[in-house]
Amino acid sequence: MNQTASEPILTTDGIPLKVSLQKSERKNKIRAFLLVAPLLVFILVTFLIPIADMLVRSIDDRQINTVFPKTFEVYKKWDQQGLPSEELYETMFFEVKNSEGYDIGKASTRMNYSKSGWKSLLKKSKRKFKKIEEGPYKEQMIAAEKRWGDIDYWKALGVMVDPTTMGYYLNAVDLKFDSNKEIIRQKENRRIYNHTWIKTFKISFLVMFFCLILGYPISYLLATLPLKYSNLLMICVLLPFWTSLLVRTVAWMVMLQQKGVLNNLLVMSHVIADENRFQLMYNQTAVVIVMTQILLPFMVLPLYSVMKTIPPTYMRAALNLGASPLHAFWKVYMPNSVPGISAGCMLVFIIAIGYYITPELVGGKDGQMVGNWIAYHLKTTLNWGLCASLGAILLAVMTVLYWAYNKIVGIENIKLG
């Protein structure tokens, strides 16, 4: 019997063809998702979650609010004219006395960021408050530790009242909140981060520039020399990858110090006098030199991979049409290598701006970058909020630069090969 137009087309199993196709397509989607699921989980765990945690930490001020919740409720009623009332002293007394050692330790660390001395004040007060049996508490607290009578300590609590804060971001650009939550500049001797930001971008740009100047002719030779010579040159380019970064940095320390290889060669060659040896270590100069050598392969490889695809007939055609070698290179070869330049510059700049080991070893005080301050606060001051804000600002700046680069050059023009 012929099937009418109104009846659905069936498979051999008697299932409508449309339903069977939908079921098959759904299985294919599930199979595709399961294939990419491990990579998705890896990216989520190692990239997205840490970034989200960093952004939360950069504004999170809940730790101290969970230790002194009642104190902050009473604190909001204080007009900051003269010392606080007996009620605020009493509330602080009981919350300090009854707090756990771990909790008050974390809270005092946070309070120390606002005003130095809070950590020792709370530590001593918790021990001395055990001897105080009954109120009034204001005079007894001041007698036990005179800093309780210093209004500056009480005013310093004002920046910690809210569970979220922008204070860490302000600190990262040499600003801060005063007791009235007004934004003011840090003291002169504490203004260090703006200078560090400028220095970080300056060093990163110089490293990128010198890598381009040195890497472009190397990449050109790799792309145009006969295979037997280009392979040997490529081995020389890749050789640093086979050596530990720490070993390479220490080798540069031996070469650049005042009694090192480079200065000794210059003195032996009578280029400079012995008393006029160059100071090439523990400054920005050392950081730029060493980082340029370390990051040079990251510029060469993208350039080479693009130059290798440029047909040599382009240059020959330009020369046959009457262009000089320099003019033909500038008008024909250089524009075709722009994708490699873009990829190399972006790769080197992004790596350089977050560098830590090299500036730490060869930079000294003058060559420290933002990454060094992040490591310092993570290991020494334990100010994770400031670390997170520095990292978040670095991420935001790189995102803006990436956006601007995409608008000017176009991210689709970047090629790695």
Query: In this structure, what token pair is assigned to residue 171?
Result: 């600190």
Residue 47, judged by CB atoms within 10 A of its CB (0-12, 13-18, 19+), counts as exposed
Question: Cα separation of 199 and 195, whole Å?
Answer: 6
Cβ contacts of 337 within 8 Å, gap of 6 or more: 216, 303, 306, 307, 310
Please give the C-alpha separations between residue 351 and each of 65, 296, 398, 402, in angstroms, as whole numbers: 38, 11, 11, 14
> Phi, psi (5° rounding) for residue 10?
-110, 155
pLDDT at 369: 94
Cα–Cα distance for residue pair 282/284, rounded to 1 Å = 7
Q: How does pLDDT run across 248-272, given as a tens digit for each residue?
A: 999 999 999 988 899 999 999 988 8
Q: Is the pTM of this model over 0.85?
A: no
Dmax (CA) of the chain: 109
Residue type, 282: Y
CA–CA distance, 33 with 26 (Å, rounded to integer): 11
Residues of the chain with confidence (pLDDT) below 70: 1-8, 10-12, 14, 409-417
pLDDT digits (tens, 9 = 90+) for 185-217: 998 888 999 999 999 999 999 999 999 999 999
The residue written with tokens 């660390």 in the block is 109
Q: Which residues pair with 177 in a beta bridge?
A: 183
pLDDT of residue 417: 47
Q: What are phi and psi of 117, to 5 degrees?
A: 115, -15
Q: At a CB cut-off of 8 Å and minimum separation 6, what does 123 contact?
A: 108
From the list 139, 143, 106, 147, the residue with the least C-alpha distance to 128 is: 143
DSSP structural state of residue 242: G
Helices and strands, number each (H, E), in the chain: 22, 2
